[in-house]
Structure 1
Amino acid sequence: MAEQAQAERVRKDPPPEHVAPLAALKGAEPPAPRWFRDAIAVEPERSFVENLGASLEVLTWGEVGKPGLLFIHGASAHADWWSFIAPFFAQDYRIAAVSLAGMGLSDWRETYRFPDFASDFEAVAQATGLYADGGKPIYIGHSFGGAQVFFTGMRAPEQLKAGILIDTGFGAPPEQVERGEAASREAPDREAKTYPSFEAALARFRLMPLQPTENLYVADFIARRSLRQVERADGSEGWTWRFDPRLWAKLDRTTMRPTPEDFARPLPPMAHIAGEHSALLQRRRDGKLMAFPTSLPEIVLPDAYHHVMVDQPLALVSALRTLLTAWPATAA
């Protein structure tokens, strides 16, 4: 009970280092360990794939003809969230990481729909050679991206061999979803926040939901690739985030959450990786109603919160390697 009370106090009045973890750096890049520098030195091929009228940003690693992996990021993120993870698998797999429509450098849409994301994944997998080994790709998705993996497995199981979900809870608790929908209705024309300089924008970067951020070199890498240059209202140069600021207002929520009928259908094999300190696991421990299927094989990463690739990147690599090597879903 004491830990839960402390967590509630932090949520209501988060410390500055949670709200703005990069602010103290004043635009400087933090030191990074050798493994991280080596990983990001393995530059992906950058391209775009067209689907349903949108141009989708895609990063690829590895040789065509090897088994396919498709990495899918979380909400308001982008494909480069995987740029320090994917290289660890490039010798054995053909890998693609996609920026979802409305995020990264991908085009924005008038409406965002789960079936369209599933269609985008198939288009990317076909265009980048993820089927070239004669099998189906494995989808790996974090958070909102994990929900898309699960949805695709329910509605289009022919697209994937298996799915790995990373700290995926199929959306916020119902009360938070209701508040978000109300805010979207009240501010349908929300504009993106702009900042007068690149350094000022970096200082405002934060992880959502808020959490401790000890590996600043990871957060800094992600943040620098989350920004784009724009002209501000006064005509001056500015910087803003790459995601569509009206993404949540434009999301078709009728397909957001799985239904009992969806869970009754056969699924491709699915597994789950979670952070030990994630709100998802806390909600489960509290016995709260969740859409998440608790029967999936699960690996819990110690000392990790929701953004496990930021908190424990090498542990995440190890967990993924374990699943891809030993999990029955990888059998031909």
Structure 2
Amino acid sequence: MKIAKELDKLIPYQAGKPIEETKREFQLKEVYKLASNENALGMSPKARQAIEAAVKDLFRYPDPAAFDLTQKFSKLLGVNPDELLFCNGSDEGIDLLIRVFCNPGDKILTSQYAFAAYGVRAGASRIEITNVPATSDFKIDLSAFKKHWTEKHKLIFLPNPNNPTGSYFNKAEFEDFLNDFGNRDDVMIILDEAYIEFVRAKDYPNGIEYYKKFSNIMLCRTLSKVYGLAGLRIGYLVGKPKYLNYLHRVRTPFNINYLAQVGALAAIDDLEYVKASQELVWMGLDYFAEEFKKLNIKAYPSEANFMLFDCAGPAAPLAQGLLKKGLILRPLMPYSLPNHLRISVGLKAENEIAMKWIGEIFSKR
């Protein structure tokens, strides 16, 4: 049986190294994982309670329309319920968008160093992706998109803030971009705002405002980060009903499991937890910036819950040295950033241990 030839070159998405695997490999009792941009506070207490109470009903199929969740988020975002589609993590949302908007021969436009899942899902659908060169400091260069866009590019993916760099584009840059691409009927702009809840920049362009003004903007968001539900796999898209109707046609009927719906309903009401999650990240980012400066290590400003730093040479040996100590960071070879690592914000004690070990490893170079 032959396999589709296009898949021979497809490299699967590389997730962060699991804690248990690291313990087994290096015979460690304690491992700190600051690699996958997870919420260091764990799950919302209210979400945990709701999930524990719901376990008895797991023999039932979940609501295929996620009605309660859709109603609650429509009020939270100020959109109509039919402008929301919940998905099995934002990864599924990305996949659905590509399958619906792209025909054979079409292309996708995004930035160099953008979230790797775009390329993986595009490849799985046999769609070519074009990466617009980033700036010298790894920021998305919106001014360069016009030069690289062709009529074959049906989707533009714009992660803001971007993973793995933590950078963002501001209102002025985005509005200049929209002068060229806004309100067109030959291209759809996807704003991926997985980390929006951590943004502190005053000139950040909140996607929901632009979605309401432009006919060809859709939003992709997740509950994995500030809401701490990464293990339940739940995200959502915001879009015009005429487009979401087609995405509903191709998604699986029970794509949001029962516990994910229950947990999400509780988590978004836990405002104290959300605030604590944001404050933990902001304190952690400030701490990282200060400590990297002391170590004379170049780190990049971040509007997400992680920070990119320059190893001033191949990062793989440093990452391996930290693994042996019990610290998992994210190598970025898949992003063509072989000299950089990404560190997620953890608890205060985890951040301190991480920076101590990073300092020790760097001092031996």
Q: Same fold (TM over 0.5)?
A: no
Higher RCO, 1 or 2 (CA under 8 Å, sep at least 6)? 2
| Pair member with larger Rg | 2
TM-score of the two chains, using structure 1 as the length reference: 0.31
Normalized per residue, which structure has more helix? 2
